[in-house]
Amino acid sequence: MRATLDGEMGFLKSPRAGGLGYKRRVTAAQPHLKPALFLDRDGVLNEDRGYVSRWEDFRWIEGAREAVAAFNRAGWLVIVVTNQSGVGRGYYTEADMHRLHARMTEDLRAAGAHVDAFYFAPHHPEAPQEIYRHPDHPDRKPNPGMILRALADFPIDAERAVLVGDKTSDLEAASRAGIRGLRFCGGDLRAFLAGEALLPA
């Protein structure tokens, strides 16, 4: 699922699962493909404290906001692709998740940064609500669905796209989508990307 921006603040509209058409759409107004930085959320942008859904429990990874701002300035698209099985498990709601993403958006704006889109996979094989119950949803990493959706939704140059995640499932999703994957094992995200010779000047 992709959360689309509703008004200036907050990612509030989430289309339900539908057909999986991944045809690239590049309009006349956007003829040039752009590089893209795909980011997992928990463990990459924020500390993974286990099903984080409230702002009071949220802590940025060191250097995360600065890294996003650097890629924004360089003209890269920055896209979050996050498994959110806490929704499917009933630990919190989609509305809770969207509120957290809205607060992240506010905080990023204050740092001169922004995320172009949040894609999320709320599914789980044992979800109590049928809408979220799926044995192996195409969007849930290690499946590549969220990345493929973004490649269809945005003018992305897949050869200049990279996903940063903290789990093997992130890297597998990237590989299956045909983009580069890097494993982040904690620390300073900005320094990590600089060490990989990826951080824009």
Residue 42 known to be catalytic? yes
What are the tokens at 64? Answer: 């995360």
Task: Round to whole Å and give the CA distance between 144 and 127.
Answer: 21
Q: Check 40, 139, 166, 170 and give the catalytic one.
A: 40
**Residues sharing a CB contact under 8 Å with residue 136, sequence separation 6 or more, in sequence order:** 125, 143
Q: Check 6, 42, 116, 166 and give the catalytic one.
A: 42
Chain-centroid distance of CA 184 in Å reads 15
Confirm if 83 and 147 have CB atoms less than 8 A apart: no
- Give 4's DSSP letter: E
Confirm if 128 and 90 have CB atoms less than 8 A apart: yes
Chain-centroid distance of CA 32 in Å reads 22
**Residues sharing a CB contact under 8 Å with residue 187, sequence separation 6 or more, in sequence order:** 62
Confirm if 53 and 86 have CB atoms less than 8 A apart: yes
Residue 48 known to be catalytic? no
Catalytic positions, written as ranges: 40, 42
